[in-house]
Structure 1
Amino acid sequence: MSVSTMVATPSLQAVIFDMDGVLIDSEPLWQQGEYEVFREAGVPLTPQMCQQTMGLRVDHVVRYWQQRYPDIVLEPHATAQAILDRVAAQIMLEGVPMPGVVNTLQRLHAQGITIGLATSSPGQLVTTILQKLQIIDYFTLWHSAEHEPYGKPHPAVYLSAAERLGVAPQHCLAIEDSLNGLLAAKSAGMSLLAVPDHRCATDPRWVWADYRLDSLEAFDDTHPLWSHLATSRHP
Structure 2
Amino acid sequence: MVPSTPPSAVIFDLDGVLIDSEPVWEAAEAEVFASVGVHLDASDTASTTGLRVDEVVAHWLARRPWDVTAPGASAEAVAITLVDAMVAHAHDDPTEVPGAIDAVDRLAKSGRRMAVCSSSPQRLIEASLGGLGLGDRFELVHSAEHEPAGKPHPACYLSTASMLGVAPSDCVAIEDSVNGAIAAAAAGHVVVALPVSELRNDPRFDFCARVLDGHHQLDEQLIGTLLA
Give the TM-score of the pair, scaled to structure 1. Answer: 0.87
Larger RCO (CA within 8 A; separation ≥ 6): 1
What letter is aligned with 1:193? Answer: V
Could you say which residue in structure 2 is the equivalent of 1:118? 117
How many residue pairs align between the two structures?
219
Check if 1:69 corresponds to 2:64. Answer: yes
Partner Cα separation in structure 2 for residue 183 and residue 227 of structure 1: 21
Partner Cα separation in structure 2 for residue 41 and residue 12 of structure 1: 48
Check if 1:21 corresponds to 2:19. Answer: no
Could you say which residue in structure 1 is the equivalent of 2:91? 92
What letter is aligned with 1:62? Answer: V
Give the deviation of 1:206 after TM superposition. 0.8
Structure 2 SS opposite 1:205: helix
Give the deviation of 1:62 after TM superposition. 0.2
Check if 1:139 corresponds to 2:138. Answer: yes
Check if 1:101 corresponds to 2:91. Answer: no
Partner Cα separation in structure 1 for residue 7 and residue 194 of structure 2: 18
Could you say which residue in structure 2 is the equivalent of 1:161? 160
Could you say which residue in structure 2 is the equivalent of 1:195? 194
Query: Is the contact between residue 107 and residue 219 of structure 2 (CA under 8 Å) also seen in structure 1?
Result: no
Partner Cα separation in structure 2 for residue 165 and residue 50 of structure 1: 33
Check if 1:58 corresponds to 2:56. Answer: no
Q: 1:32 to 1:189 in 2, by over 3 A?
A: same
Check if 1:35 corresponds to 2:34. Answer: no
Give the deviation of 1:214 after TM superposition. 2.1
Could you say which residue in structure 2 is the equivalent of 1:8? none
Cα-Cα RMSD: 1.9
Partner Cα separation in structure 2 for residue 201 and residue 133 of structure 1: 25
Structure 1 SS opposite 2:61: helix
Give the deviation of 1:203 after TM superposition. 3.1
Could you say which residue in structure 2 is the equivalent of 1:129? 128
Give the deviation of 1:101 after TM superposition. 1.5
Partner Cα separation in structure 1 for residue 198 and residue 76 of structure 2: 28
Structure 1 SS opposite 2:120: coil
Could you say which residue in structure 1 is the equivalent of 2:204? 205
Query: Is the contact between residue 91 and residue 130 of structure 2 (CA under 8 Å) also seen in structure 1?
Result: no
What letter is aligned with 1:40? Answer: S
Deviations 1:178-210 (A, max 9, x none): 111011000001001100134644532111111
What letter is aligned with 2:21? Answer: S
Partner Cα separation in structure 2 for residue 87 and residue 95 of structure 1: 10
Q: 1:194 to 1:95 in 2, by over 3 A?
A: same
Which shows bigger deviation, 210-219 or 61-70? 210-219
Give the deviation of 1:97 after TM superposition. 2.0
Partner Cα separation in structure 2 for residue 167 and residue 145 of structure 1: 18
Structure 2 SS opposite 1:137: coil
Partner Cα separation in structure 2 for residue 131 and residue 123 of structure 1: 12
Give the TM-score of the pair, scaled to structure 2. Answer: 0.89
Identity over aligned residues, as a percent?
A: 43
Could you say which residue in structure 1 is the equivalent of 2:3? none
Q: 1:211 to 1:90 in 2, by over 3 A?
A: same
Could you say which residue in structure 1 is the equivalent of 2:148? 149
Partner Cα separation in structure 2 for residue 199 and residue 92 of structure 1: 28
